[in-house]
């Protein structure tokens, strides 16, 4: 082929419209959420309105919430008594699709997953209670399997939280801070500095693994829009620049909690009375965290705003569409 013919082909290729990454603005009409307490709308962990509800309001979306508190990705990896993604949430979703309780047209529906806090947290990887032989790699692969399972059923639009994986900066929540105290989630003796360092490594490793695996998976699923929402980046920015996000009536607080309870060391949380403090009223909007592990409602409101903007492809620095 002559150089002139090659130039003509290049010009034609440039003139042809290309399919942009991500759904078109206002394409998405339905939001289906999977995950743990961070996304549970039944038992809102921020003691207010969970972020998926705000997303549905802001984006004028029909919400189908399947996330449940305490969940992990799979009982075969990190078993807990709570409804895991593969053993409970996905089967419930497929049952509701089959009996027409929900309507999920592929082009109009986006699926989100925010899971991992319980997989790496207390009772699992951080203190060695996962199933024998299970590693961080297995828990990250489980999230890829969530996408392929839904893809094989017809789903086409996905958002994985966050852009580097699934976890926010867990080392900053009170439970895993270096100077943490016995609380409602853990009262046994522990080396808090060691936990803080280990959690920092777990989060960084899981997030990078997810980024690499998701970039490898995306090209193998034709017809998909796969987005990565960087919850870690967002919450780090809230921590570092609270004035951009928080708006309460007291000084900004990114290390303490709205609801904080200190327990005696090695105590049974159901048998003792802890020393608790609670922030009331509009002062709550000054806080990044609701309790020792969960974001505040203000943080969830910010999260919902950014996810909605990203889903609608209307600008969010925290959501990147791979396809």
In a domain, 5, yes or no: no
In a domain, 63, yes or no: yes
Calpha distance 166→213 (Å, rounded):
12
pLDDT band at 4 (very low <50, low <70, confident <90, very high): very low
In a domain, 54, yes or no: yes
Structural domain including 138 reads 23-176+189-244+296-314
pLDDT in tens, 211-235: 999 999 999 999 999 999 999 999 9
Calpha distance 189→208 (Å, rounded):
31
38: number of Cβ within 10 Å: 29
Counting beta carbons within 10 angstroms of the beta carbon of residue 88, is it exposed (0 to 12), middle (13 to 18) or buried (19 or more)?
middle
Q: Is the pLDDT of residue 1 over 70?
A: no
Q: Which residue has the higher pLDDT, 107 or 11?
A: 107
In a domain, 86, yes or no: yes
Q: Is the pLDDT of residue 2 over 80?
A: no
Query: If you count them, how many residues does the chain have?
Result: 323
In a domain, 53, yes or no: yes
Q: Is the pLDDT of residue 157 over 90?
A: yes
In a domain, 258, yes or no: no
Q: Which residues contact 142 (CB under 8 A, 6 or more apart)?
A: 73, 74, 77, 85, 86
Lowest mean pLDDT of 4-18, 287-301, 308-322, name the range.
4-18
* Nearest residue to 310 (alpha-carbon basis) of 297, 300, 321, 299: 321
Sign of torsion over alpha carbons 261, 264, 266, 272: negative
Q: What is the pLDDT of residue 70?
A: 96
SS3 (DSSP) at 275:
strand
Calpha distance 259→86 (Å, rounded):
32
Q: What is the pLDDT of residue 130?
A: 97
Judge whether 113 and 161 are in contact, CB under 8 Å: yes
pLDDT in tens, 128-152: 999 999 999 999 999 999 999 999 9
In a domain, 277, yes or no: no
- 136-152 and 192-217 helices cross at what angle (nearest 10)? 40
In a domain, 153, yes or no: yes
Q: Which residue has the higher pLDDT, 17 or 232?
A: 232
pLDDT band at 9 (very low <50, low <70, confident <90, very high): very low
Write out the DSSP string of 232-272. HHHHHHHHH-GGGT---SS--EEEEESEEEE--TT--TTTS
Using DSSP bridges, classify how beta strands 259-262 and 275-278 pair: parallel, antiparallel or unpaired. Answer: antiparallel
Q: Which residue has the higher pLDDT, 63 or 315?
A: 63
CATH of the domain at 132: 3.40.50.1110
Cis bond upstream, residue 76 (ω within 30): no
220: number of Cβ within 10 Å: 9
User: How many domains does one find in the chain?
Assistant: 1
pLDDT band at 65 (very low <50, low <70, confident <90, very high): very high
SS3 (DSSP) at 290:
coil
DSSP 8-state secondary structure symbol assigned to residue 49: -
Q: Which two tokens stand for residue 300?
A: 């969830």
pLDDT band at 5 (very low <50, low <70, confident <90, very high): very low
């Amino acid at each position: 082929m002559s150089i002139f013919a090659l130039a003509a082909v290049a010009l034609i290729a440039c003139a042809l419209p290309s399919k942009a990454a991500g759904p078109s603005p206002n394409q998405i009409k339905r939001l289906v959420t999977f995950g743990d307490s961070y996304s549970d709308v039944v038992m809102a962990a921020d003691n207010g309105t969970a972020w998926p509800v705000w997303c549905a309001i802001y984006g004028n979306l029909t919400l189908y919430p399947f996330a449940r508190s305490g969940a992990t990705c799979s009982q075969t990896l990190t078993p807990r008594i709570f409804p895991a993604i593969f053993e409970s949430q996905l089967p419930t979703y497929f049952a509701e699709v089959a009996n027409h309780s929900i309507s999920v047209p592929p082009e109009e529906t986006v699926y989100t997953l925010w899971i991992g806090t319980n997989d790496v947290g207390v009772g699992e990887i951080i203190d060695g209670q996962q199933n024998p032989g299970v590693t961080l790699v297995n828990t990250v692969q489980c999230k890829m399997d969530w996408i392929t399972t839904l893809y094989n059923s017809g789903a086409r639009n996905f958002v994985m939280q966050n852009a580097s994986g699934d976890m926010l900066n867990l080392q900053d929540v009170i439970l895993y801070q270096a100077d943490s105290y016995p609380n409602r989630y853990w009262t046994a003796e522990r080396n808090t500095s060691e936990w803080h360092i280990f959690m920092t490594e777990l989060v960084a490793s899981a997030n990078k693994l997810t980024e690499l695996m998701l970039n490898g998976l995306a090209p193998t699923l034709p017809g998909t829009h796969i987005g990565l929402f960087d919850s870690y980046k967002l919450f780090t920015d809230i921590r570092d620049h609270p004035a951009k996000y928080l708006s309460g009536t007291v000084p900004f607080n990114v290390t303490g909690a709205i609801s904080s309870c200190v327990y005696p060391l090695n105590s049974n949380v159901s048998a003792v009375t802890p020393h608790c403090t609670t922030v009331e009223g509009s002062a709550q909007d000054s806080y990044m965290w609701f309790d020792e592990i969960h974001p505040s409602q203000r943080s969830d409101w910010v999260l919902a705003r950014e996810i909605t903007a990203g889903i609608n492809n209307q600008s969010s620095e925290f959501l990147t569409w791979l396809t």
